[in-house]
Structure 1
Amino acid sequence: MNISAIWIRRPVMTILIVVSLLFFGVVSYRQLPVDFLPNVDYPTIQVKASLPGASPETMASSVALPLEKQFSTIDGVDSMSSSNTTGSTTITITFSLSRNIDSAAQDVSSAISAAQKRLPANMPSPPSYVKTNPAEQPIMYYVFTSKTMTMPQVQDYVETSVLPALSSVEGVSQAQIFGSQRYAVRLRMDPDRMAARNVGIDEVTTALEKGNVNLPGGTLSGPSIAYSVDSTGQLMKATDYNKLVVSYRNGNPIRIQDIGQATDSTENEFMHRSLITSKGRSDGVFVAISKQPGANAVQIAKDVRNKMAMVQGAIPKGINVTLLYDRSQFIQASVKDVQLTLLLTIFLVIAVVFTFLGSLRATLIPGITVPLSLVGTFAVMKLAGFSLNNISLMSLTLAAGFVVDDAVVVMENIVRRVEAGETPREAAFAGSREIGFTVLSMTLSLVVVFVPILFMSGIVGRLFNEFAVSITAAILLSGFISLTLTPMMCAYILKHRNGKTQAGRFVRVSERVFERAIRFYGRTLALSLAHPRKVLAFTLSVFLLAGFLFTRIDKGFIPSQDMDMFIIRTQGNDRSSFDYLASHQRELDRIIAKEPDIKGALSVVGTPTYNKGFMFVTLKDRAERKESVDQIIARLRPEINSIPGLRAFPYNPPPITIGSRQTFGVGQYTLTSPDLNLLAKAAAAMENRMRTLPGLTDVNSSLELRTPKIILDIDRDKASALGLTADQIQDALYSSYADRLVTTIYTPSNEYDVYLDLGKSFQSDPSVLSRLYVKAASGTLVPLSTITKQREVLSSLSVNHSGQLPAATITYNLKPGYALGTAADEIRSAAQKILPAGVTGFFEGNTSAFQSSFANMGFLLFVTIFIIYVVLGILYESFIHPVTILTALPLAGAGALIFLMLFHMELDIYSYVGIIMLVGIVKKNGIMMIDFALELAKKKGLSSRDSIYEACQIRFRPIMMTTMAAVFGTLPIALGFGTGGESRQPLGVAVVGGLIFSQFLTLYVTPVFYVWFDQMQQKLAKKRENLSPQG
């Protein structure tokens, strides 16, 4: 049966079908969204709850734990963690990838309602939740600054006028202010003046709650006119609160201004935001813009910039707008460079084919297969909902190197017949029929290589799903074109050669070179076939070498990438206050401001706790810098770490974030235990041990029981005798030191909170607690010092949970040149020696994903080889021939590992996928040799040795053409060409190294195995014949 015959006979049909494929591919390409990486929708929900003034321990036990118990009953919860700081709880629930985020959100809402009755009654509002995706980071940051307006005024304008406009842009998930500092009124009470006037703090609270109201007044309805009724029940400004009467003493009113002062302030005084540039430092309001899953990042950024240009016309003159970071520019540059790499690859592949064939006509035929296969793949990508991103375009770039293979094999077989004297049409029919099964075997066996990737689980499976589908589509299309368009074009485009036809000079030179190469190959192949044991021993040694190299090579997860930005986490010393950290971070601001490669930075003090900070640093474009982001970090680290009293942790965040904990480094090792004290000791010991590991830097623990805390032990007998309860004492402390939200101001466009506490001079030292009074039932003010005793203990500013257990996360960064796999092994070894019974340790984030990915990769490689064996066994109806074809795999694997180690690269996810690709590529050589040898043995009755010898010589040219096309097609990736090329480079190096190393060896190893297996079969057949009973 000749599949190609109908396509050769009906050229118009063939051309129209191919043109249709080209048309739909081009249309689909123009509609594909553009993004950095494939959409990885990690279903995650974040729940937040607040209880102002509550300690981290209280938040963990009374707020987080009841919620966590309810959330643990929800179906599909993959992991759950919580972070509890003073007055705040954040619970992050990550669901399995198969769980629908909308139905999960409904379950979370129901669980919050069920837990409500167990939560503290004085929480200002019920817990809220939001759907998030930790893998999706904001694509843009805008900064709003002003020299004439306060930051609360700027934020108020941004909230009411800018955010709604940006949120309305199609594809924008949310536009939110990073580190809110909204306007608020603060009432600072003076306990000395209150005591002098016999006013208790509870009286102030009551007066504020009842003195500022916003209730409906109703209506008056007469015979002809109706009136609405309202009153000035609200106090709108700080000056209004100063005049509020709290109580009367001896008939005289006591106002707020008599016992304290109301001031215009912000919701969070323990947070400060600054924009850092070479021009200096200025306060700012930062807006982060995130996109919806699957949306076009480049188009969204363009629409946002256009919308901002429209909004800026209405922005008050005192407000300046700066675009601090636009990730779409990096995405655009990266995708554009991958597209250029793809075009360069196509050119190199066609150049290789021309070099081997020496004819423009002959080169055109397989050359047209490459763009047709790739353009047609865009239609498949559109139907599958994919985007143009680094992964999908990388798959097409790799595909360009071997989608030409099928067409080359078909055309070369036809050309060989034309050179033997057949007409192009005769050669097209006969050659396509002769080679059709080989092409089908090559295509199907290559496609099945990528099938296991489609079933990979976890984040890596999501990441490489587009890769596998896109490259599979390209391979299937190339096989289709090779069996349809290629023979048809050969029949009508190739010239008939006869004795009078004079070949061109280039062709003559090319043919002489290949004739010499074939003769040399024939001699060396004969030598190999004459010494099979040596070849078999060599193959076994290479197999063992591959296994040894696999155990020795450094292993990583996803290569770091220069995305024109990096992050610095900061932390004060154990006893530092917000003011202390703010003053020391200004020194860091100065270091960053003077760095010439830095474009700007967002500097925040007071997040997630008052003695921690954060800096988002943006760099000039990579083309404008001599140093990479990792080199800049390495150069700045000593100067940053020299700032006294400040611990700084700079790092280059990975291209994709796994896990949602806010950490101080790229690596996370978490300890859990039901015993918090045991956990704290284990965390401290583990942190100290990890600091001694040679490849780690910036080691830091989230649980540090070194922060001073004042405990007031209540003398309940004395308090009761004076008519006081623990609730009254706690309430007085809450009103004095906990930023108590006492009332709210409502305006037509916004709402603002009113907070109560003591003046700053009464919050600076524990001794001021003795000046606080609590009002007894008798009306007498009782000094707090008479009914309580102070003691100081050490605590942590945050209490974390993992699952429902107290947890401590130790974060770390890797020193340059140190592998993630090596670090993980050393940390695991240290944990086995240090952690006591009752404490469990495990990796989170990228390290956890790395471990699970590599645990599955070995099995994935085995499944890939098994599926190829099954397919080849079915095609050849043989148990032995598939093994013969697969003997090249250890050679390719060893070559890939040797080249990776030679260029000091890690075996990461990208390079591992490259090795899996090699399984499909290198076995093509074996198929071409074995398939032809079997045909010769069948037709001519040749021995296995003679048939494989002749087949190898006949197939030498197409084998060399296809392999060199794959090598040169992958070469631009191996060279790290273009923006972000450093992440793709390991895959290219693995493929190129594996092909180069295995190419020449398989030309000898596969024939020897073919003969050896055939001889074994003959011996077994003779034994069975001798053992059979004589008839």
Structure 2
Amino acid sequence: MWEYFIRRPIFGTVLSIVIVMAGLLAFRNLPVAQYPQIAPPTATISVTYPGASAETLMRTVAAPIEDEINGVDNVLYFSSTSSSNGLLSITVTFEPGTDPDQAVINLTNRIKVAELRLPEEARRLGVVVKKRTNDILLAMSIISKDGSRDSVYLSNFASVNIVDELKRIPGVGDAGIFGARDYAMRVWLEPDKMARLGVTPTDVTQAIRATNNQYAAGRLGQEPAPRDQVMVIPIVTPPRLATPEEFSEIVIRAGGPSGTLRLRDIATVELGAQSYEQQATLDGQTAVGVRIFLAPGANAIEVADAVKAKMQQISKRFPAGVDYAIPFDTTLFISASISEVMHTLFEAGVLVVIVLLLFLGSWRVTLIPLIAVPVSLIGTFAGLWLFGFGINTLTLFAMVISIGIVVDDAIVVLENIERLMEEKGLSPFEAALASVREVSGAIVAIVLVLVSVFLPVAFLGGIAGALYRQFAVTVSVSVLISGFVALTLTPALCAMILKPRVHGKPGGILFWFETQFNRVATWHDRTVRWLLAHPGKALTIFALILVANAVLIFKIPRSFLPAEDQGYLIGKVALPDSASVTRTREYMAKIVPDLLKIPADEPALRHAFAISGFDLIGGGEKTNAGTIFLPLKDWSQRRYTAEELAQKFNAAVDKYPEGTCLVLNPPPIRGIGTAGGFEFYIQAREDDNVARLGQVTEKLVAELRRRPELMGINSFFRGNVAQYLVEVDQVRAATIGVSLPEIYEALQATIGSVYVNDFNRSGHTYRVLMQSTPTERNSPEDIGHIHVRAKDGSMIPLSTLLKVKPSSGPEQIDRYKGFVATRVLGSGVPGISSSTALKIVEEVAEATLPEGYQLDWTAQAFQEKRTATSALPAFLMALFMAFLILAALYEKWSLPIGVILTVPFALLGALVAIFVRGMPNDIYFQIGLVTLIGLAGKNAILIVEFAVHARDAGKSAAEAAVAFVLGVVPLVIASGAGAGARQSMGTGVFGGMIFDTFIATLFIPLFFKLLTGDRQTPRS
């Protein structure tokens, strides 16, 4: 059937043009991202319980909700953080591939059951469930350039005019404000005045709720009505109160010895903020931060561009003196890494052209196989579109690898046509027809083997499966297209373009190259003949190669993904327990200027975006913690990598004794953890004694810090934060007629904060909050000044009903998979792989943790442990599929074994390459190994196929192999954004193909002879 395309060359050309057009059309619609959607979908649950301690929140809110989460489908794991400021945050992580919308629906339905068991105050404020990715796409800062606007104004301006509009952009999963200071009507109570006037917090709450309310009075003349009723007129009641002055006039009590008592007599009312605990700065200047989260499956670059375009529109409506900046943009790394891979793709193409020219010796002839490259690669975009994939690091890696593969088929056809023209004196047309009949079987075999190798790995699950799948499908599509082009377009072009060669010595570099190639070919031929003559020694060498593979596999450490310089770092700030947010802010104000000057000769930071009171790494809002986003200058504008800069930053801020700042590299895949390295929880499996868990954690952390292979070991659990324990004299309280709820409600309404109801401002709804003035809730003695009403109407100070004792307890309590737990972060020192670090942690935990306590991995470490065994099944399945396809093609069980036996040579080359470079065995390397199975099989097929027909396949195989090897050189020497991944894959494939080309091909004739029983010596 393939002769048809030679007889009708225009038809074959049109088909290739159609493939290219389809690829170009698909290219415009493909999403662009650093990685495919491989991070597990997540949902967050937020609950506010004002005034509750971390332990109260954990027991009364977190535990009931988590009991219900356990029954939700496809939940991978979940964790919660209960903070002493009354905020609970639960993150639920689902299996990769789970529909996030359906997951949130299932989660919400189960939480509705738990809501009935929650405290009333928590239910009133609501349980908020949202779907979103864990990572921040963009962070913007809203600033007042002239200082005329305070943070409360900026926060509410951003909330009303910016955040709501950004949330409506397609692809934005969520948008919010760092340290949001939403408007709130703050009622600042004065307990001493209240006591003198006989008013309790409950009296004030009831008066505000009665006055600040919206009532429906009905309509006059509403049906049923008299027959002569001709009009229906609604009765309008006053709206809710809106200004501090209106609230101040609320009547608390009328009559009595002191006359009419209004709210202004016992409290100060002002329009303030709902929370004052977080403060953002940009390079030291007061700012408000806006964070943008990406929706699952959205195109990161398109969404970021849309957000930036919308901000340009919105900024035209900014008040005078208000401006914005985007100090944190994760898409810069995505764009840079994609650009670097595209550059690598171009370099690989140039090197392949050079190889083809050296081997073929003519631009005219070189053009024929070269045409297969753009047709195959551009056509692959259509395949990506059909499979629902996009342009990302994995698919572009596959295209770089494919450049050297797609020319192979065309080279085989071209070389065979030229051989027929030279040996048999056929015309180009006749040689093309004869060649297609001879090599079509080999081409089909090569294509089927390469595709069959990748077919099983495309069905692997989890994150590793998603990475394998993107690469596998891309290579398979490009190989299928290249095989089709080699049997349709290439022979047709040969028939039209080729001319009989004029024999003569080539000149210049071509003569030198041909001379060197002939020397190598002569050595190769002699070596093959020696191996055929000494099969015992040859098999001994092969056995040693198998042993070397086994040794290196166990010796080379494993890893999940290589660390990357993503163009930004994250600083985690921590002050001593119980430190106020003011102290945290002052410490951060000291270190930020120092960070902006490092290195001294050429500062590496673009900005320093700091948020005090917010702990991104440890989780939650804490007055003694902070986070600094440190975006670095472009990779081309700095000498140091992100890892090197992190060490410099840590050393620079170590001189300040007030606190600590640990600068960390982000995880390689955003959305899986918050920092590079490993994360794990220590779970208390038999009880929820937080103090005991803290002691166990401290001991384990201390043991881990003694190990020289580990660094940055930190636990975020603080179990001895200063607290005060309130003990109520229940007998006395009952005697005078004061109930326990009245006492605790009075405490919450004064020392804590109580949500009364709502008010409206500028079309939005805000909270009315009641609390004592700051000066009357600073010490334990202030608790005694609070009064409650006894049953005889007298005012009783709480100092007569309770005792306040110094105590200690946790500021934050974590739970993991339904158990009370503590979270620990760390990493291996430079040169220690992640698998080695995880093994060390497990060994120390096994020796240190007492009975009832268990180590459980999370985030990236969880995925690494989960995918640790995925490489072996993928490797074995690839080998088995290649064997089956070859057996079916050759109708022999023995011959495919000879092809499979070449794989250990490629494997050894790959292992030696990464061992020499000190690189670990990670997912990218493993993907490269699967590729090598197919490539090793391809080389063997050429030699065996041609040996069966007693023809010389040496030059064809060598030309194709050298083209491929040089094509991956840009990956091996990669630098800049995303270099870690490119080097990992390129190094293994490069080493494997070197060994396969120069060593495995020496043994293939021997295997062929031994397995087929052929006593003749096949030509090399």
Shift of residue 898 of structure 1?
1.7
In the other structure, the counterpart of 2:225 is none
Distance 2:763 2:790 in 1: 42
**Which segment drifts farther, 455-464 or 295-304?**
295-304
CA contact 1:657–1:846 (8 Å) conserved in 2: no
Secondary structure at the counterpart of residue 31 of structure 1: coil
Shift of residue 609 of structure 1?
2.7
Shift of residue 224 of structure 1?
8.6
In the other structure, the counterpart of 2:587 is 584
**Residue type at the aligned position of 2:824:** I
Distance 2:971 2:376 in 1: 20
- Residue by residue over 1:617-664, the C-alpha shift from the partner in whole angstroms, topping out at 9 and shown as x without a partner, is 11111111111111110111122333323232321112313556x679
In the other structure, the counterpart of 1:449 is 453
In the other structure, the counterpart of 1:66 is 64
Shift of residue 321 of structure 1?
1.4
In the other structure, the counterpart of 2:617 is none
**Residue type at the aligned position of 2:712:** D
Residue correspondence of structure 1 range 417-566 to structure 2 within 5 A: 417-420=420-423, 421-497=425-501, 510-566=513-569
- Residue by residue over 1:183-216, the C-alpha shift from the partner in whole angstroms, topping out at 9 and shown as x without a partner, is 2232222323332333322222222222322334
User: Normalized against structure 2, the TM-score is what?
Assistant: 0.93
In the other structure, the counterpart of 1:879 is 893
Equivalent of 2:821 in 792, 803, 807: 807
Secondary structure at the counterpart of residue 136 of structure 2: coil
In the alignment, structure 1 segments of 5+ residues that lack a partner are: 937-950, 1019-1031
Secondary structure at the counterpart of residue 368 of structure 1: helix
Shift of residue 836 of structure 1?
1.5
Q: 1:321 to 1:216 in 2, by over 3 A?
A: farther
In the other structure, the counterpart of 1:1025 is none
2:248 paired with 1:247: no
Distance 1:482 1:233 in 2: 79
Equivalent of 2:679 in 660, 667, 687: 667
In the other structure, the counterpart of 2:637 is 624
**Which segment drifts farther, 911-920 or 525-534?**
525-534
Residue correspondence of structure 1 range 817-896 to structure 2 within 5 A: 817-896=831-910
Secondary structure at the counterpart of residue 710 of structure 1: strand
**Which segment drifts farther, 308-317 or 247-256?**
247-256
In the other structure, the counterpart of 1:963 is 961
In the other structure, the counterpart of 1:22 is 20
Residue correspondence of structure 1 range 892-931 to structure 2 within 5 A: 892-931=906-945
- Residue by residue over 1:396-425, the C-alpha shift from the partner in whole angstroms, topping out at 9 and shown as x without a partner, is 111111111111112111111112122212
- Residue by residue over 1:939-970, the C-alpha shift from the partner in whole angstroms, topping out at 9 and shown as x without a partner, is xxxxxxxxxxxx5xx22211211111111111
In the other structure, the counterpart of 1:1029 is none
CA contact 2:911–2:988 (8 Å) conserved in 1: yes
In the other structure, the counterpart of 1:235 is 241
In the other structure, the counterpart of 1:264 is 271
Distance 1:800 1:643 in 2: 29
Shift of residue 220 of structure 1?
5.9
Equivalent of 1:1012 in 1003, 1010, 1013: 1010
Distance 2:190 2:537 in 1: 95
Equivalent of 2:714 in 683, 687, 700: 700
- Residue by residue over 1:568-620, the C-alpha shift from the partner in whole angstroms, topping out at 9 and shown as x without a partner, is 12222233233332332222323233342111122112222322221111111
Identity rate, percent? 28
Secondary structure at the counterpart of residue 306 of structure 2: helix
Distance 1:856 1:656 in 2: 18
Shift of residue 505 of structure 1?
6.8
Secondary structure at the counterpart of residue 566 of structure 1: strand
Shift of residue 17 of structure 1?
0.9
2:784 paired with 1:785: no
Secondary structure at the counterpart of residue 946 of structure 2: helix
Secondary structure at the counterpart of residue 302 of structure 1: helix
CA contact 1:772–1:783 (8 Å) conserved in 2: yes
CA contact 1:298–1:332 (8 Å) conserved in 2: yes
Q: 1:141 to 1:880 in 2, by over 3 A?
A: farther
Secondary structure at the counterpart of residue 252 of structure 1: coil
Distance 2:878 2:693 in 1: 44
**Which segment drifts farther, 425-434 or 581-590?**
581-590
In the other structure, the counterpart of 1:290 is 293
**Which segment drifts farther, 751-760 or 973-982?**
973-982
CA contact 1:142–1:325 (8 Å) conserved in 2: no
In the other structure, the counterpart of 1:37 is 35
Distance 1:233 1:424 in 2: 92
Shift of residue 846 of structure 1?
0.5
Shift of residue 911 of structure 1?
1.4
C-alpha RMSD over aligned residues:
2.5
In the other structure, the counterpart of 1:946 is none
Distance 1:546 1:179 in 2: 55
In the other structure, the counterpart of 1:187 is 187
Distance 2:716 2:975 in 1: 40
Shift of residue 703 of structure 1?
3.0
- Residue by residue over 1:295-328, the C-alpha shift from the partner in whole angstroms, topping out at 9 and shown as x without a partner, is 4333333333332222222111121111223333
Secondary structure at the counterpart of residue 637 of structure 1: helix
Q: 1:545 to 1:763 in 2, by over 3 A?
A: farther
Residue correspondence of structure 1 range 607-756 to structure 2 within 5 A: 607=614, 608-610=620-622, 611-659=624-672, 666-677=678-689, 678-756=692-770
CA contact 1:359–1:507 (8 Å) conserved in 2: no
**Residue type at the aligned position of 1:214:** Q
CA contact 1:358–1:510 (8 Å) conserved in 2: no
Shift of residue 139 of structure 1?
3.9
- Residue by residue over 1:682-710, the C-alpha shift from the partner in whole angstroms, topping out at 9 and shown as x without a partner, is 22222222222223333222433111222
CA contact 2:827–2:834 (8 Å) conserved in 1: no
CA contact 1:651–1:813 (8 Å) conserved in 2: no
CA contact 2:132–2:293 (8 Å) conserved in 1: no
In the other structure, the counterpart of 1:1028 is none
Distance 2:869 2:469 in 1: 18
- Residue by residue over 1:83-102, the C-alpha shift from the partner in whole angstroms, topping out at 9 and shown as x without a partner, is 21231222222222343322
Q: 1:323 to 1:506 in 2, by over 3 A?
A: closer
CA contact 1:670–1:842 (8 Å) conserved in 2: yes
- Residue by residue over 1:325-344, the C-alpha shift from the partner in whole angstroms, topping out at 9 and shown as x without a partner, is 33333323322222222122
Secondary structure at the counterpart of residue 608 of structure 2: strand
Secondary structure at the counterpart of residue 411 of structure 1: helix
Shift of residue 230 of structure 1?
4.3
CA contact 1:339–1:393 (8 Å) conserved in 2: yes
CA contact 1:735–1:756 (8 Å) conserved in 2: yes
CA contact 2:54–2:82 (8 Å) conserved in 1: yes
Distance 1:509 1:971 in 2: 22
Q: 1:804 to 1:498 in 2, by over 3 A?
A: closer
Distance 1:800 1:506 in 2: 68
**Residue type at the aligned position of 2:964:** A
Q: 1:841 to 1:920 in 2, by over 3 A?
A: same
**Which segment drifts farther, 718-727 or 647-656?**
647-656
Shift of residue 508 of structure 1?
5.6
Distance 1:506 1:833 in 2: 65
CA contact 1:373–1:477 (8 Å) conserved in 2: yes
**Which segment drifts farther, 147-156 or 97-106?**
97-106
Distance 2:1015 2:824 in 1: 60
CA contact 2:189–2:771 (8 Å) conserved in 1: yes
- Residue by residue over 1:452-478, the C-alpha shift from the partner in whole angstroms, topping out at 9 and shown as x without a partner, is 221121122223322211111001111
